[in-house]
Structure formats: C-alpha cells, structure tokens
C-alpha cells in the first residue's frame, strides 16, 4: 500500500461568527472563529499533485465578499509555501479542485502546466450560480473559461494511494481527497469544516458523531458526505482548520525536511 504525506500550505486567515461554522447549534452563537485558507501538496505520488489552487488575502479584500473581505489576513504566498518543499507552481501536474468557491481557485493561472480536476456538477453550478443572496462566493465566469479543466463524475482514483471522493453538500460538486499514509487513510474534506465540526462536545456525543457546517447547498448531501468521511477516515483533515497552519506534515509523526 502506498504511504504518502500531506503538506498543508496556509495562505490566509478569515474571521466569522462561530454560528456560521456549526449549523443551528445554540452553544456556538456569539463567539468568533478564525478560519484558514489552505492549499495542500501530496508528497509521494509519481505526479506532482495539489489540492486546490488558492487565493491571496489581497484578492479576497478586492472581491468584497461580505464578512470575509474585511478580515482577510495574509500568511504566505503559494510560491513561498511550495518553495519550502523545493517546488514551484509550474512544477505541479494536477490540481484537484475540492470545489469552486472563490477562496479555492483564483490562483489557478500560476500552475502553468497543470490539469484541474473538477466535478461536472460543480462546474455546471458555477457556470449558472444562484443569486448572490444564496451563493455569495461564486467563481468568476471569466476565470472558469481560462482553466484547463478535466471534468469528472463521481469517485475516481488518481494513482495508488490517492483517491478522490464525490462529497457534495457544501456545494453540489464537492470532492474530498483520500490519501493513504503510514497512520491510515487521511481525508481532506470539501465541506468547509474545522475541528468544531468533527469534535463533538461531550453533552452532544450521545446523539451526534459530527456537527454540520452552516454553509451548505444541500443539508442532506452534506450530512451523507460527512458520514462517509467519518466512517472511512483514520485522520480527518478539516479543510479550514487554523490549527493546521502550524502542522508541517500529515500525519504529524511523518516529518520530512522542509
């Protein structure tokens, strides 16, 4: 079995009310949570594989997304993050697009030779998005027309040890990435989660195994996708968890030179 390593590359932080992170949970009303926007490099496969293309804090501020543009704070560039691994964006062969929300795709032009793997349902949704009140972060259509997409439908295997899972709910065509590691299967989810969604407080554990994020296109799709990840993942990788900004590798015990 292949044993790969995931490198989180944090790009910026965003602040939001905790009540927007955990769906309809009264104990979470009031506090503010700081999310992190990442891209992820998978070390080990024959191809150079990234998950998501990323976005800068400057781009977010210019995009004027309610609640996010005023709180976007720069951490590092994609070039700096990949440079620590001895790579450049131009070295990347494949970018697996978890979904096409604005914080995941605008830096696509940096990956000059990469193919971008996206679900058909996701591309269809963002080519004809619902009104802004429903979808506040659609990908600009002019950007969609310039990206070298390879359109997928459902689950698929990238190569040994890297499988992509169709996990709709946050958006109609979300896809999570399952990576074989020395500590078991690690899954980078597409559902805009943090630790708060996967670590259920003791008072709720008798009836809940995870808590849904507040932002979703379909609540039941989100539930079924989270349940699928919960059942198969030895290591859950919440896609917006700030804690991971200080983690060099996943699994953390599998340290590699940077």
163: nearest Cα among 151, 173, 150, 176:
176
User: What's the confidence (pLDDT) of residue 23?
Assistant: 62
Residue 117 backbone dihedrals phi, psi, to 5 degrees: -90, 120
User: What's the confidence (pLDDT) of residue 18?
Assistant: 64
Residue 97 inside a domain? The answer is: yes
The DSSP code sequence of 136-162 is SSPPPHHHHTTS-EEEE-S-EEEETTE
Residue 46 inside a domain? The answer is: yes
Q: How far apart are CA 95 and CA 12, in angstroms?
A: 19
Residue 92 inside a domain? The answer is: yes
Mean pLDDT by 10 residues, the chain (258 residues): 93 80 59 89 97 96 81 96 98 98 95 98 91 74 92 97 97 97 97 92 86 87 97 97 97 58
User: What's the confidence (pLDDT) of residue 189?
Assistant: 98
Tokens 């008798």 belong to residue = 206
* Count of structural domains within the chain: 1
Tokens 């169709």 belong to residue = 166
Q: CATH code at 133? A: 3.60.15.10
Q: How many angstroms separate the Cα of 68 from the Cα of each of 14, 31, 58, 73, 231? A: 6, 16, 11, 10, 32
Residue 254 inside a domain? The answer is: no
Residue 28 inside a domain? The answer is: yes
Q: Record the tokens describing residue 133, joined without a space.
A: 């009140």
Yes or no: say if 55 and 77 are a contact pair by the CB < 8 Å rule.
Answer: no
Tokens 């062969």 belong to residue = 93
Query: HSE of 24 in the Cβ direction (CA atoms, 13 Å)?
Result: 3
- Backbone Cα Rg of the chain: 17
Residue 135 inside a domain? The answer is: yes
Yes or no: say if 125 and 203 are a contact pair by the CB < 8 Å rule.
Answer: no
Question: pTM of the prediction?
Answer: 0.92
37: nearest Cα among 240, 250, 213, 244:
240
Residue 10 inside a domain? The answer is: yes
**Domain limits for position 39:** 5-246
User: What's the confidence (pLDDT) of residue 254?
Assistant: 44
């Amino acid at each position: 079995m292949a044993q790969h390593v995931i490198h989180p590359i944090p790009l910026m932080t965003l602040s939001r009310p905790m009540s927007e992170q955990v769906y309809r949970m009264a104990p979470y009303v009031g506090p503010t949570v700081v999310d992190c926007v990442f891209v992820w490099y998978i070390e080990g496969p024959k191809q150079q594989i990234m998950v998501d293309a990323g976005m800068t804090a400057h781009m977010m501020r210019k995009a004027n997304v309610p609640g996010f543009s005023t709180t976007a704070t720069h951490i590092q560039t994609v070039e700096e993050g990949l440079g620590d691994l001895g790579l450049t964006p131009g070295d990347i062969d494949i970018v697996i697009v978890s979904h096409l929300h604005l914080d995941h795709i605008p830096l696509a032009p940096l990956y000059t030779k990469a193919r971008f793997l996206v679900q058909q349902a996701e591309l269809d949704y963002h080519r004809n998005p619902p009104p802004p009140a429903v979808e506040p972060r659609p990908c600009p259509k002019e950007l969609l027309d310039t990206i070298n997409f390879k359109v997928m439908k459902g689950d698929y295997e990238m190569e040994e040890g890297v499988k992509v899972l169709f996990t709709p709910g946050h958006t109609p065509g979300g896809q999570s990435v399952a990576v074989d590691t020395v500590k078991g299967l690690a899954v980078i989810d597409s559902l805009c989660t943090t630790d708060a969604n996967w670590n259920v407080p003791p008072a709720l554990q008798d009836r809940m195994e995870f808590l849904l994020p507040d932002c979703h296109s379909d609540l039941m799709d989100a539930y079924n996708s989270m349940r699928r990840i919960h059942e198969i993942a030895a290591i859950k990788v919440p896609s917006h968890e700030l804690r991971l900004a200080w983690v060099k590798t996943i699994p953390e015990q599998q340290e590699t030179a940077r």
